[in-house]
């Protein structure tokens, strides 16, 4: 696909421990040994601004793809989209399904062009308990980076090519694990709401709006976000899945059944 004229983005990153004043000077004196670790903890945010956001902007400005705050897995060439607010269990369920043999696309952000979904893969952030449960079934390579909540970064096998969407699921925490059918249009609006609630995509939309003031011809992608999302979900089974707290295995069983149905529907 022709993506138009190349763009050049310049990023200037300034890292400080705080503002001026004797209190901030005291903090710097006490924390100077931790400065390298503090800088590394900002690496994820810096990667978004330096790499992902410029790429997403270029793709959207040319009508090629849009980001969604969601996880994605694939079974025999059909994609299963798992969306939801931060903390709803997307990463847990996606990695569990990958450990069960499905192909991992991404656990945090996927791209779509109105027809297929593509993984925007980042290293998996896993705590010790989750890692122990996955290690025997999913090959993990340590990246050598630790994040908040004592989670380490790991690279895992994942699919790099796109797949047609087989089913879309919006996740939420609940008292019981329950699956309900959604109309595609309602599902599309929920996915749009999730995008604005998640900081990774919300920050991108703010940046895209600012860039759109400089390149007004590209603002058509704002309308295309809604139209292409409706097109992606047209004719695709959509669901609302509440996940019982502490029992993700119940949801994993239901999701694997959905992925199997999506595969059978095109066989």
How many residues in total does the chain contain? 267
Q: What is the mean pLDDT of residues 194-202?
A: 94
Assign 2 to helix, strand or coil.
coil
For residue 2, pLDDT over 60 is answered with no
| pTM score over 0.85 | no
Q: Looking at the domain assignment, is residue 143 inside a domain?
A: no
Return the higher-pLDDT residue of 216 and 12.
216
Q: Looking at the domain assignment, is residue 9 inside a domain?
A: no
Q: Looking at the domain assignment, is residue 10 inside a domain?
A: no
pLDDT, mean over the chain: 85
Chain segment 63-110, per-residue pLDDT in tens: 899 999 999 999 999 999 999 998 898 998 999 999 988 999 999 999
Handedness of CA 215, 203, 146, 91 (dihedral sign): negative
Q: Looking at the domain assignment, is residue 233 inside a domain?
A: yes
Torsion angle (degrees, nearest 10) of CA 238, 134, 174, 195: -50
For residue 217, pLDDT over 60 is answered with yes
Q: Looking at the domain assignment, is residue 61 inside a domain?
A: yes
Q: Looking at the domain assignment, is residue 22 inside a domain?
A: no
Range of the domain at 178: 43-121+158-265
Burial environment of residue 249 by CB neighbours within 10 A (0 to 12, 13 to 18, 19 or more): exposed
Assign 41 to helix, strand or coil.
helix
- Which of 8-22, 150-164, 246-260 is predicted with the least confidence, judged by mean pLDDT? 8-22
Question: Any idea what DSSP says for residue 196?
Answer: H
Q: Looking at the domain assignment, is residue 166 inside a domain?
A: yes
Q: Looking at the domain assignment, is residue 59 inside a domain?
A: yes
Predicted pLDDT of residue 265: 64
Say if CB 81 and CB 70 are below 8 A apart: yes
Chain segment 20-73, per-residue pLDDT in tens: 667 767 766 776 666 566 555 566 777 888 889 999 998 998 889 999 999 999
**What is the number of domains present in the chain?**
1
CA distance 45 to 205: 15
């Amino acid at each position: 696909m022709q993506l138009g004229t190349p763009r050049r983005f310049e990023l200037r990153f300034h890292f400080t421990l705080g503002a001026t004043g004797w209190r901030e000077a005291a903090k710097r004196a006490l924390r100077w040994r931790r400065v390298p670790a503090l800088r590394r903890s900002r690496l994820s945010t810096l990667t978004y601004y330096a790499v992902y956001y410029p790429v997403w902007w270029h793709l959207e400005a040319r009508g090629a793809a849009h980001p969604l705050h969601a996880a994605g897995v694939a079974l025999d060439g059909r994609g299963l989209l798992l969306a939801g607010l931060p903390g709803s269990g997307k990463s847990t369920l996606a990695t569990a399904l990958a450990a069960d043999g499905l192909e991992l696309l991404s656990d945090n952000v996927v791209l779509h062009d109105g027809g297929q979904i593509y993984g925007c893969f980042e290293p998996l952030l896993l705590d010790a308990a989750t890692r122990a449960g996955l290690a025997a079934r999913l090959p993990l390579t340590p990246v050598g980076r630790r994040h908040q909540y004592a989670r380490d970064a790991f690279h895992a096998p994942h699919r790099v090519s796109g797949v047609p969407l087989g089913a879309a699921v919006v996740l939420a925490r609940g008292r019981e694990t329950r699956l309900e059918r959604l109309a595609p249009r309602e599902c599309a609006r929920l996915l749009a709401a999730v995008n604005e609630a998640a900081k990774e995509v919300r920050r991108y939309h703010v940046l895209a709006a600012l860039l759109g003031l400089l390149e007004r011809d590209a603002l058509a992608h704002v309308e295309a976000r809604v139209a292409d999302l409706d097109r992606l979900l047209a004719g695709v089974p959509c669901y609302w899945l509440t996940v019982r707290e502490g029992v993700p295995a119940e949801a994993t069983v239901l999701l694997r059944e959905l992925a199997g149905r999506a595969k059978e529907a095109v066989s």
